[in-house]
Structures are given as structure tokens and as C-alpha cells.
Structure 1
Amino acid sequence: MEPYLAHLASDGREQPLLDHLEGTARRAAQFAAAFDAEEQGRLAGLAHDLGKYSHLFQQRLRGGPRVDHATAGAFVCLQQGQPFAAFAIAGHHSGLPDGGSQGDAPTTGSFLGRINRALQGKLPSFSPWTQELTLPSPPLPNLSALDGMFFTRMLYSCLVDADYTDTADFMAESSSPTAPVPTIEALWERLRNYIAGWFPPKGPLNTQRCAILDHCIQEGLQRDPGLFTLTVPTGGGKTVASLAFALAQAQSKGLRRVIYVIPYTSIIEQTAQTFRDILGEEAVLEHHSGVSYDLQDEATPEALPLAQATETWDLPVVVTTAVQFFESLFSARPASCRKLHNLARSVIVFDEAQMLPVSYLRPCVWAMAQLVAHYHVSAVLCTATQPALQPLFQEFAPQLTPVELCPPDTCRWEVFQRVTFQNAGKLTWDALACRLQAQPQVLCVVNTRAGAQAVFQRLQREDSFHLSTLMYPAHRRRQLAEIRRRLTLGLPCRVVSTSLIEAGVDVDFPAVYREEAGLDSLLQAAGRCNREGHRPAQESVVTLFQGEGNAPPLFAPAIGAGRYVMARHTDLASPEAIHDYFRELLDLKGTQAQDIQNILPTMADNRFPFRTVAERFHLIEDHTVTVYIPQDEGAALVERLQAGECSRALFRKLGQYGVSIYPQHAAALTASGDLAPWGEGVFLLQNLDAYDSKTGLSLQADCGKGLFL
């Protein structure tokens, strides 16, 4: 009798089904061992393709009709009392399904509907599996509904990665050489060599930075994995200090990688480059929509691990966005979930933790608590303005008590007090522009893109600069490079920006103006003033003001909480003021507003609603479209798109030349002939005059909703 097959390669090679099941099981068990679920992983791997033991599937390999081969293994596992493996197997191709109800029809896509399909004998017979396999019966972990959903998704990740990897290894006609990836121990030594030049420190500011760095290293070496906060004043060197803690912890406690989660790509690019400078290009994966590892363009041994790691995150240092990180944790899709098992036994640093969106705060903190409590993760909330999240962590995991990596006796905050605040009250755009024009070097941060353009247009264009997301990312990078050059040389430089410049962008102005906003935003703006402490604090003034018109409703709670704290604290940058601000902000928002899609109640009250949760969880709620700008390299990329090319690598590169706008804005620009539609949610700029070299895409047809950063 011919053996049952799993795959046929294009060159005619055959992979026996038993070989594929055992290879997948071996890998899945290895992956799941990172969170103490080795035997669950082995079971899922052995059972995932039991449906391929049917004669109909064997015909499918040679051109026959499609066959449901995933439900069979899920049915067998459920019969054996293994629901976690059953769910993982059911979704290993089509995605994790909703659990559904026992009365679901066999034609529904729910898990129980598919189980009813098996119960009613509507699956092709796959009984020969019993002649080749004996499935293990690992003990079930005792988990609540919420914990069980998270565990299932992690087990699913192990299965998907193991299945994809085993299949890809068989299908590959030849293996490509890859460059060796450095170990955590090697990276620890590279970091130590990098910081060796910091000691002994010179001056009070560097003395404090080195004290923070040294304390983080000692805590990393000595502490067991857990929940940590790193509250460092702006300019305190938190990027390197947090990396030092993470590598010290990883190499001393046997953790496998460091994952940096950052709110915006504008910070990611800067942070990732810093890490590459310290650790080497081959050690750092920068994973977000604006970066591409295109093997067609650069099929080199150095590029291959980076390209493959975007799916698996199996490099030692990963820098990614909060959107990518959290939406993957709540996804039901195989490609998005494949990397999740590599979060186990990692150090995860949440940079600028205060920027976690309040409307999804509860599910985000719950996911973080799951990782720390059950998956051997060290999580670090890293910021100059620490949000008051301890009550939420205590609710979800009472055993977790955060440890501060920069306690008061380590850091003298007064050393970092480099600015003086003053309040100018309400200013018209004309009055504000007059004040800015009178200063040779000044930064002004406003709340909306329309406001930024309005103020900028009132300045003399020479020596003045504008920054907002109406400019494509590559354009903003060029502008920032010129701004930094002029600041360094002492040349006139007046900048009007939306809050994107507050998010970790390394610039140093002698004076800053900030439109009224939340306290965290005010302090972030202040961090761009006298950043290096070269000027006296009394000469480095941060001016707070109210702009024209009413504040957008989106900002009202943050502004209200900021006013509350400013009326009660003279030192706005003190840890006490910051704690009171976030406590007041969360109180104003209320519990329901911290989970606007009812993610956690839905998971607790339903039978594993994976698909429903994935459809509801979108960290960025704005319904926007993308306009690609055919300028510079973007022109050639747009030509490739128009010629019919459609690849992920192309769209990643195009991301550097894309601007996100509201549909109403796009409709108005299209009606005026400035834009041409190109697929769903995508437009191409037709009229290059609608893109200004200083301010970016025209706002003339804007509908007034542009609250982008």
C-alpha cells in the first residue's frame, strides 16, 4: 500500500504524512516548551493533519477538489478532552474560529458547527490514522475562560509556526545560507563595550544618567522575571538604560530575546538605529509598515534572517509598534499569530507607556499581565510620565507588584529640571506667529494638522519648518535632518509641528510653545527644550497657551485632567503630579471607556469568541485611506504599482511615501482632480501641486476632522 502523503513538491518529491506530523509535532513541542506546554504542543502537531488520511485528500494532492482536513484532528482532540489543541487545529489554516453553540449547523464556520459536521458523519473517513499514530494525552492546565483563550492562542502560534516551517523546509528545493545570528550573551558584551566610555561620568547630568544605567543593570542581573517600571526624566538616557536592563536580565535569567514596543514609527526608526549602532545590523529586527526586507531585491545571507523574522520574531532584538504587538495578541489569523509563541521567555519593553490608548487600556493591560504571570516574560513600562496602571495589573494578576528600576534614591529629578513653565493664556494664530517670529530658534506644538498649517503659513518661510503626518515619512525625515543641522550650527530655525515631534524625537530647542493638552503631552513637549541641559533652566521657557477655537472633543478629558493637576501641583514634572494626572484621567474616562468594544466581557461570557474579538480589536480606530505621493523614490514605486506589481515588499516601501487622510478629505481632493483611486482605500496623487514641499498634502478640501499626530 502506498504511504499517505502530506505534500507534493514542484519537483515531484513526496513528503509522507507521518513524517510531516512528527516533524510538526517536534517543532511545536519545542516552541511550547517555552511556556511549559511541551506535550500540548506535541499533541497539536501530531493531530493537526489527521484529515489528510482520507482518500479524498490524497486525491486533492493530485488536483482533486478542496477537502476540509483540519476539522478531523480537532474532532479527535475534543473527543479526548483536549479543547485547547482542538481549537488550535481547527484554525491552523483558516484562522481561529468563534466557539459558537452546540446547536450550530454543520455549515457554519464556528468551532462547534464544524464539530457537528464530524458528529453527523459529514467528514471524509480518515480512520487509517489509528494504524500509524498514537496521540498523547497531556494533563490539561486549570485555566479560566480568559486564561484559556490566551493559552489557546499561544498554542495555536506554536502549531502554525511549526506547520509552516516543516512544510517550507520540505518544499524548498535548496536551502539558502544565512548569516549567523549573535547570541544574547554576545549582545550583552557589545552593550558593555558601548557603555564603557560613559564611565567615569563628567558633569551632574551624565552622573545621573550613569547612576540610572548602573542601577538598571544591577536590577537586571539580580531580579527574577516580572513586572517593572522605568520612570526616567526626559534626557535621563532611558533608551540605553532600558536596553541594558533587558540584556542583563535576558543573559542572567535565560530569556531568549528583547522586544521593544513603541507607539509610533517616528520613534521606532530612531530607536532601531540606536540599537543597530550598539548591537549590530544583524541582531535587530525593525518590524512595522514602513520598513521592507525584500528578498527579490537583496537575496543576501544578511537579509534572509530579517525577512523571515518579520513572520516569526525569532531574532534576539525586535523593535515594533504597539499596533503590531497588541493586534497580533488579539488576532485570529495564522500569519499574525505565528510569532506569538516567541514572546514567551522574553523581556518586553513598552516604551512611552503613557501612550497606550485609553479606549483599549483594559484588554492591553490584561494581555501584558497574562504574559508576565504565565509566560515567563519580564515587562518594563518605560516612560518619563508613568501612567497609574498598578490597580489594573492588581485586578488581572494580584500576584504582580511592579518594581521601579529608577527609584527616588537613584535619580535626583531636580538635576533634570531644565525648563521653566509659563502660561500665556489664549493666543490667536496671528499673535502666536508674532511671538515665534521674534525668536531665532523655537518649537511650537499644536493639536491638529490644520492648526499646524495655519500657524506655519503666518511665518516667514525662510528658516521656518513644518512637521505633520500630512507629510510622507521620508519627507519628514529629511525635514528633521535639516532641523537638527540648523540647531547644531546655531542657525535660525522655527518649527511648527503636531505632537508627532514629542514622541521620542531627539531635538533640542532653547524655547518651546505648547498648545493646551494633557499633562503627559506638555511634559513630552518640554523634553524638546534644553534637552542636553546646556542652558540655565530659567532661560529655557516652555510657554503653554490656548489656541484659536475650542479644543477638539477628543482632547477634552486629557485637558481637563491636566488642568486639575496644574491647579494642585507647582512642579508639573514631579512623579506625584504625573501619578495624579493619570489617576484623574482614568477616573474621568471610567472603566467602560477603557474597553470600548467590551473585549474582556465578551471573552469571559462566550465560548472562545476568537473571530469576534479579532474583528473588534483595532488599536487605531480612525477609518482612513492612504494617498501615495510620487516624489523622489516614491515616483518609481508608484510606477511599479501602476504597472501591475502587487507585493507586500512594494507596499512596505510605498509606506515611506504614503499619507493617511479621512475619506471625506480624499473625496474632496478626488473631485477636484488631485487624486485618482487605486484599489480599496488607496489613492495616487495626480496633481503634484497639491503636495507642498514645506507642509505636505493640501488641506484645502479637508473636513476639519484631522486630529492626526
Structure 2
Amino acid sequence: MYVGHTTEDGRKQKLLDHLQGTSALAEKFADVFDAGEWGRSVGLYHDCGKFSKAYQRRILENGPRVDHSTAGALLIMKKIHNLFLSICVASHHSGLLDEGNRRISTAGDSTFYGRLKKDLSGKLDFSAYRQELPDPQPPKTHPNFLYTEDNFYSSFFVRMLFSCLVDADFLDTEHFMSNGAVKRDGFASIQELHDMFFEYYKHFGEPTTPINKKRQEIYQQCLAATEKEPGIFSLTVPTGGGKTLSSLAFALKHAVKYRKQRIIYVIPYTSIIEQTADVFRNILGTENVIEHHMNVDYDDEKADAEMERKKLATENWDAPLIVTTNVQFFESLFAAKTSRCRKIHNIANSVIIFDEAQMLPESYLRPCIRAIGELAANYHCSAVLCTATQPNLDAYFAEIGPTLAVREICPDVQSLYNFFRRTTYQFLDVSSLDEVAAKLNQHEQVLCITNSKKDAQNLYKAMDGEGCYHLSTFMCPAHRRKGLSVIRQRLKGGLPCKVVSTSLIQAGVDVDFPAVYREIAGLDSIIQSGGRCNREGKHKAEESMVYIYDLNKSPREIPAFVQRPLEVTKHIAMRHNDIASVESIKDYFHELHYLIGRNQLDNKDILEKLEGKSIPFANVGKEFKLIEEDGKNVFIPLMDDEENQDILSKLKLGLRSRSLLRKANQYVVSVYNNQLVKLCDAGKLEKLDEELYLLKDPASYSMETGLDINMEDGIGIFL
């Protein structure tokens, strides 16, 4: 008997059982996108190398480690010459390999073709597979997109197939090693979630106020749109239009009608995710909502069965409702690592809602759109681009294929804007922060949003009277959260409340000020900021002012990624009387994308690399990073906080677990490398590890303004 796995208590899994179990699961997963035969083949031959004497000695006698992944890849290439199956098998432990070159790659290098040139004779001879397996056969079914001249389609298919393999391999192994003890089910079905939602919605009754009647119109348009064929939709609804509930209604009804397997909400900021997830939990039950982002922690020591199921679901998204970030979603779709790729196949046949769609990252806009288009065209997904400031992306989708038209769910966008207009935008003539501060101090309740953390700190120091607050990412998340809680209470109670913040507050944060000041920036950022003014619509639009101020900073003071949107906003203001109109927004994104240039919408040439003759999977996985890691984290010690001190003591002992680091994140401030150098040179930091530092000087952190990095000789750092 050939053995695939052994446990500490001496149980042995037959290798053939593991291959057949993995094959069955991979077939089931790939069948969702019409490639079940491919999944069956890749699962059946992925561990052929375990038939070698060397591997059996390794597993039964604790012999030396051996390469067992290359064998199946070699067998597939020799018997049926199928590159896609072979590269998945070769990569299933290492992560997807760069393809390399058949002629140039040398034996043993880190590419796929280098791996194929390894010598597997002698102890690594795996020919004994013939005792238990037939030779590989070419798949009889071929997804249509494999015949296109565009290699991107092929690279996407390989990554999907690879996802099926690595998830199936992990699950079959997990089932044997745990003796079936690990349970990954227990969630409500899509139909059950659908029924729960519409039962909940009945409680609203018939709308009586004009605003609720308009929200009901939007809701009904969303329901009507669910009848349309799956594909790409847009939902352009101003702030206050109830798009969270309406988009969920669309997703659930569309999913039931077209038998979609899950709903995925993709959101740019964790602050919005937490608010959205709270709404969903209230309707659908906390046990059915899976959050997957850096701030969620399902590793609590007191975790129950529900928490364990949620933790497991974050590994492969095997749950009906996922709420995640742009970073997690898109980086996974272009990833090479097995841990990141496991979930990809479960994106197929889903309804995907992209909330705040204007926040799709500009530097990766074309690859992101290409991925959305690929999911809609070939993997049975429906995507909804949901925002109040809809970028015009039709041309980019049209490049992929003529059938990928974006259909607007609420087509009369201008009338919606007119109805929900709650503010008046006005440009303000000021020349200094002192003038801005003087105007802010004339208000009882006011919000000011700056472009730089330095300006936010300085403006806060110039505030007079009670109820003054500061928010920026120089503050650790725990203090920002406490500050927002106090701010909401004071606003609700009609108490004085003057807030100076960076842009972290402008999108999705549920606060309502009678007046907002916004340093000039991109038009979408300004309109998002305006959404914090008269949010509940209790005052006339003419009385609810959003003041835009421009300090005419020199280009040296403004990073390029802010400078260009800022200049485009100035152009739009000269051409349109109402900068927040639908036409203004359309004009803004058209000019912005034109000035950025086609190449800069894919500034790392991701598409060019994936459309080439040799696909660099590993290289693309490293290059595709929505958040560049240009800095380190500083842990803020709080002597009067018991949890903080407990975390710190464990960090100092060298303990590092995913759960501990997530808890530590609540007390961490991220700084850029130049700021880190300043703090280190001043003797204010102690290095805990390569990524984490400890603030040694308590005077350098304030609960009101956060970390003081003494930036007098530097440029303001933008959020």
C-alpha cells in the first residue's frame, strides 16, 4: 500500500484515497465554471511523486524531504502535453510558478520549465503510479476562452484551476488528519438568507415621507433589475438613497433566480465594512456574515463552534455571504501563494457588489476591470458597481468584449441627485490655516477635512471652546474608534462638536454635521466629504454648506497622486456651476483618466505581463500590491490599558500569532520609512522585530492628536 498521509496516532491514509478524494473535490469546484473534467484530472495526478520510494521512506521512516510535486507535472506534459494542468500540479506546494522558457530555463531554477528539467530517476522514480492509476487523458471539454489569442484568459483559468486543486488538496488532507472532526458547514443557504431579508423588510411598511418613498422607488428598481441576465450592473445612488439595503435586496433575489452560490461585498475601507457588516448581521444573523479583512479576529481563545466556522470560512470563502476589502479581493485574484489562491474558485458563480466603486485603485484600474470582466464573461458572476460618484468605466469593459455592457439599475441618475441634494458647495477664499481655523471657530458643530495629517494636527490646536476633536491615522485605531463614538453622541445630543480630520472620515462614516469644510482635492473626495453634511436631510440644502478651501500649496507640498485630481477639480469648477452634478462627475473622471494616461492605469504592466507568451505568475503575485509596504508599525504603549499591556508583554517575549497581531493592530500607528528614521534617530523607538517597533517616549503620543513625528522640516503626509 502506498501512503499519502500519516497522523501522530498512527493512522495512515492510502495515497490512492487521497488522490481520488482530492480529484472529486476539485471536479466539484471546477464544475461551477464548466471545467469539472479539468478539476478531476488535476486532482488525480497532483501527488504522483508520492509513489516514489524516497517519498514513502520520508513519510513512513521520517526520511529526508523530497520533491513530489514535479512528478505529476512531468507525467502530464509527457502523456498529454497540457500546460495548464501541469503548471498547477508543479506549483501546488510552492505557489504558482513563473512559466519560464522551455529552451532557456535550466534544471532546478524557480520557473515551471526549470522544474520540468529536474532529474527524477532513481529514488525519485514514481513509475509505480501505474499500479493504481491509469495514464492521464486529455480533457474532452475545453472552455471557449482557451482559444483566444489573448493570454490573459488562459492565465485567469490557470489560477482558477489552481485554486480548485489547492483547496481540494487542503480539505481532503484536513478531513483525514482531523478524522472528520473539522466542520465547515452550518451557514444558512442563499434561499434562507433571501427569505430572512424579505421578512425583515416587511417591517418597514408602506413609506409615508417623501424621502422614504424615493428610497422605496430605488429599492423597487433594484428588484426589477434582478430579472435581467447576469452580467455587469451599476447602481448610482446619492448619499441617503438607501443603497446598502437595496443592493442587498438585488444581490439576494438575483442570486436565487440565477442560482448563484454566494454574495461577496467588496468595500475599500474597513470602517465601511464594519458598518455594513453590522447592518447585515442585524438582518441575517451574526452567524451568517463573514468578514474578511485585517481588523477581524476569529482566533479568540474562547471561540465557540460559530467562531471556528467563520475562521475556517475566511480561508476559502466557503460561506454564502462574504464582506471583504478591495485589497483582499483583488490581490487574491492576482496572487500566486496557495493560501491566497484557495478562495478564488469560490468567487465563481457569485453576485459581487463593489461598494464605493470610484475607489477602485487608479494604478491598477485596468487589471481590476479586466478581472471583473473576466468573472462576468466566463465565470457566471454578476457584478454591481455601487457608488454616489460613478466613474465612467464602460469603455474599459468594452475593450474586453462587446457583451460586457454596464447596465444602470436606476437610469434617471440626475433626478435622484436633484431629489437627494442636501448640501450647497461653495469655494472659500482663504490664504492660511489660521483663516480656516477662525471660520471653524464660528460654528458650534462643524467638520473640517484636510489633505495632510500635519494640517489636521495644527488646525486642531487652533480650535477654541469645548467639544473639539481630532482624527487621523497618527492615532491608533482604538482611540479613533473611541473618538468617533463620542463625536456621534455629541452630534446627536446637539452639543458643541468641532472636528478636524484627515480623509479617513469622508467615506461611509455615519456622522451628520450642519457644515463641512474640505481642503480642495479630487471631486469624488469632495462629494464624499459632503456626504457628512446634513446627512439626515433635516435642513434645507441652501443652509447646509460644504466649503472648499485652497491654500495654494506649492507642488513640493502635494504628492503627485493628490496633485492631479486636485487640478482636475479646478478645471471642473470652471466649466460647471454645480460641481456635484452628474455631468460634473462624468466630466471629472473622463478628464482624470485621460490625464493619468492609459499606461498609468496599469503602472506595473500587469496586463502586459499576463498577456505575454510566458506567464509570470509568481512575479505578478509579488507586483500586484494595492497598498505598497513603504513603512513600519509602531506599537503605542498605554499604561492604564490592561489589554494593551498584556499584548505588549507577549510581543516583548517574542510571541507572534495571527490573533495576537490582529489585537495589536488596535494600538498600532503606521509610519513611512522616512518618519521611522526620524523617530529612531531621536531615540524614541525600540525595535521589536523587522516590522514592528515600540514607542519608548510616552510624550510623543497624545490621545487627542496621536503620534508626534516632528514634521516641521518635512512635507505633510497624506492619508
TM-score by length of 2: 0.95
Q: Does 1:191 align with 2:197?
A: yes
Q: Does 1:253 align with 2:258?
A: yes
1:580 maps to a residue whose letter is D
Q: Match for residue 214 of structure 1? A: 220
**SS in structure 2 of the partner of residue 244 of structure 1:** helix
Q: Which moved more, 1:398-407 or 1:549-558?
A: 549-558
Q: Match for residue 447 of structure 1? A: 451
Q: Match for residue 581 of structure 1? A: 588
Report how far residue 107 of structure 1 moved. Answer: 1.9
Q: Match for residue 74 of structure 1? A: 73
Q: What does 1:239-250 align with in structure 2 at a 5 Å threshold?
A: 239-250=244-255
Residues 45-89 of structure 1 show CA distances to partners (whole Å, capped at 9, x for unaligned) of: 001000000000001112111111001111112221321111111
**SS in structure 2 of the partner of residue 350 of structure 1:** strand
Confirm or deny: 8 A CA contact 1:348 1:379 kept in the other structure: yes
2:680 maps to a residue whose letter is T
Report how far residue 616 of structure 1 moved. Answer: 1.2
**SS in structure 1 of the partner of residue 677 of structure 2:** helix
Q: Match for residue 131 of structure 1? A: 131
1:573 maps to a residue whose letter is A
Q: Match for residue 115 of structure 2? A: 114
1:628 to 616, 629, 635: 635
Tell me how many residue pairs correspond in the alignment: 704
Confirm or deny: 8 A CA contact 1:429 1:548 kept in the other structure: no
**SS in structure 1 of the partner of residue 127 of structure 2:** coil
- Distance (Å, rounded) in 2 between the aligned partners of 1:151 and 1:123: 34
Q: Match for residue 241 of structure 2? A: 236
Q: What does 1:520-669 align with in structure 2 at a 5 Å threshold?
A: 520-547=524-551, 549-550=553-554, 551-631=558-638, 632=641, 633-669=643-679
Q: Does 1:90 align with 2:95?
A: no
**SS in structure 2 of the partner of residue 627 of structure 1:** strand
- Distance (Å, rounded) in 1 between the aligned partners of 2:591 and 2:363: 15
- Distance (Å, rounded) in 1 between the aligned partners of 2:503 and 2:694: 26
1:9 maps to a residue whose letter is T
- Distance (Å, rounded) in 2 between the aligned partners of 1:425 and 1:77: 71
Residues 335-392 of structure 1 show CA distances to partners (whole Å, capped at 9, x for unaligned) of: 0000000000111111111111211111111111111111001111110000111111
Confirm or deny: 8 A CA contact 1:75 1:86 kept in the other structure: yes
Q: Match for residue 155 of structure 1? A: 161
Report how far residue 161 of structure 1 moved. Answer: 0.4
- Distance (Å, rounded) in 1 between the aligned partners of 2:703 and 2:537: 33
Cα RMSD after superposing both structures? 1.7
- Distance (Å, rounded) in 2 between the aligned partners of 1:259 and 1:250: 11
Residues 14-36 of structure 1 show CA distances to partners (whole Å, capped at 9, x for unaligned) of: 00000000000000001111111
- Distance (Å, rounded) in 2 between the aligned partners of 1:411 and 1:704: 46
Residues 150-174 of structure 1 show CA distances to partners (whole Å, capped at 9, x for unaligned) of: 0000000000000001111111156
- Distance (Å, rounded) in 1 between the aligned partners of 2:303 and 2:9: 22
1:413 maps to a residue whose letter is Y
Q: Which moved more, 1:440-449 or 1:131-140?
A: 131-140
2:347 maps to a residue whose letter is L
- Distance (Å, rounded) in 1 between the aligned partners of 2:397 and 2:539: 40
**SS in structure 2 of the partner of residue 190 of structure 1:** helix
Confirm or deny: 8 A CA contact 1:419 1:539 kept in the other structure: yes
Q: What does 1:428-507 align with in structure 2 at a 5 Å threshold?
A: 428-460=432-464, 462-507=466-511
**SS in structure 1 of the partner of residue 474 of structure 2:** coil
Confirm or deny: 8 A CA contact 2:266 2:326 kept in the other structure: yes
TM-score by length of 1: 0.97
Q: Match for residue 223 of structure 1? A: 228
- Distance (Å, rounded) in 2 between the aligned partners of 1:377 and 1:461: 54
Report how far residue 230 of structure 1 moved. Answer: 0.6
2:682 to 656, 669, 672: 672
- Distance (Å, rounded) in 1 between the aligned partners of 2:114 and 2:108: 7
- Distance (Å, rounded) in 1 between the aligned partners of 2:575 and 2:257: 44
**SS in structure 2 of the partner of residue 15 of structure 1:** strand
Compared CA separation, residues 602 and 165, structure 1 to 2 (3 A): same
**SS in structure 2 of the partner of residue 42 of structure 1:** helix
Q: Which moved more, 1:236-245 or 1:194-203?
A: 194-203
- Distance (Å, rounded) in 1 between the aligned partners of 2:394 and 2:26: 35
Q: Does 1:363 align with 2:367?
A: yes
1:697 to 683, 686, 707: 707
Q: Which moved more, 1:91-100 or 1:409-418?
A: 409-418
- Distance (Å, rounded) in 2 between the aligned partners of 1:708 and 1:288: 22
Residues 522-580 of structure 1 show CA distances to partners (whole Å, capped at 9, x for unaligned) of: 10011110011100111101101013633443211101221222222222222221111
- Distance (Å, rounded) in 2 between the aligned partners of 1:176 and 1:605: 42
Compared CA separation, residues 560 and 123, structure 1 to 2 (3 A): farther
Q: Does 1:511 align with 2:519?
A: no
- Distance (Å, rounded) in 1 between the aligned partners of 2:130 and 2:281: 51
**SS in structure 2 of the partner of residue 469 of structure 1:** coil
**SS in structure 2 of the partner of residue 381 of structure 1:** strand
Q: Match for residue 277 of structure 1? A: 282
2:335 maps to a residue whose letter is S
- Distance (Å, rounded) in 2 between the aligned partners of 1:76 and 1:476: 57
Residues 296-336 of structure 1 show CA distances to partners (whole Å, capped at 9, x for unaligned) of: x1341111111101111111111111111111111100000
Confirm or deny: 8 A CA contact 1:179 1:301 kept in the other structure: no
- Distance (Å, rounded) in 2 between the aligned partners of 1:488 and 1:685: 36
Compared CA separation, residues 24 and 411, structure 1 to 2 (3 A): farther
Q: Which moved more, 1:423-432 or 1:54-63?
A: 423-432
Report how far residue 424 of structure 1 moved. Answer: 0.8
- Distance (Å, rounded) in 2 between the aligned partners of 1:112 and 1:15: 31
1:130 maps to a residue whose letter is R
Q: Does 1:166 align with 2:167?
A: no
Q: What does 1:413-424 align with in structure 2 at a 5 Å threshold?
A: 413-424=417-428
2:66 maps to a residue whose letter is V
Report how far residue 412 of structure 1 moved. Answer: 3.1
Q: Which moved more, 1:209-218 or 1:332-341?
A: 209-218
Structure 1 segments unaligned to the other structure (5+ residues): none
Confirm or deny: 8 A CA contact 1:204 1:415 kept in the other structure: no
2:269 to 261, 264, 267: 264
Q: Does 1:334 align with 2:338?
A: yes
1:65 maps to a residue whose letter is P
Q: Does 1:319 align with 2:323?
A: yes
**SS in structure 1 of the partner of residue 282 of structure 2:** helix
Q: What does 1:6-17 align with in structure 2 at a 5 Å threshold?
A: 6-17=4-15
Q: Match for residue 100 of structure 2? A: 100
Q: Match for residue 146 of structure 1? A: 152
Q: Which moved more, 1:89-98 or 1:570-579?
A: 570-579
- Distance (Å, rounded) in 2 between the aligned partners of 1:348 and 1:379: 5
**SS in structure 1 of the partner of residue 223 of structure 2:** helix
**SS in structure 2 of the partner of residue 543 of structure 1:** strand
Report how far residue 178 of structure 1 moved. Answer: 6.7
1:164 maps to a residue whose letter is F
Residues 97-142 of structure 1 show CA distances to partners (whole Å, capped at 9, x for unaligned) of: 0011122111201000111225x85881100111211234213432
Q: Which moved more, 1:191-200 or 1:409-418?
A: 409-418
2:606 maps to a residue whose letter is I
Of all paired residues, the percent bearing the same amino acid is 46
Structure 2 segments unaligned to the other structure (5+ residues): none
1:574 maps to a residue whose letter is S
- Distance (Å, rounded) in 2 between the aligned partners of 1:86 and 1:270: 44
Confirm or deny: 8 A CA contact 2:108 2:117 kept in the other structure: no
- Distance (Å, rounded) in 2 between the aligned partners of 1:682 and 1:384: 38
2:25 to 19, 24, 27: 27
Confirm or deny: 8 A CA contact 1:353 1:386 kept in the other structure: yes
Q: Match for residue 60 of structure 1? A: 58
- Distance (Å, rounded) in 2 between the aligned partners of 1:404 and 1:702: 48
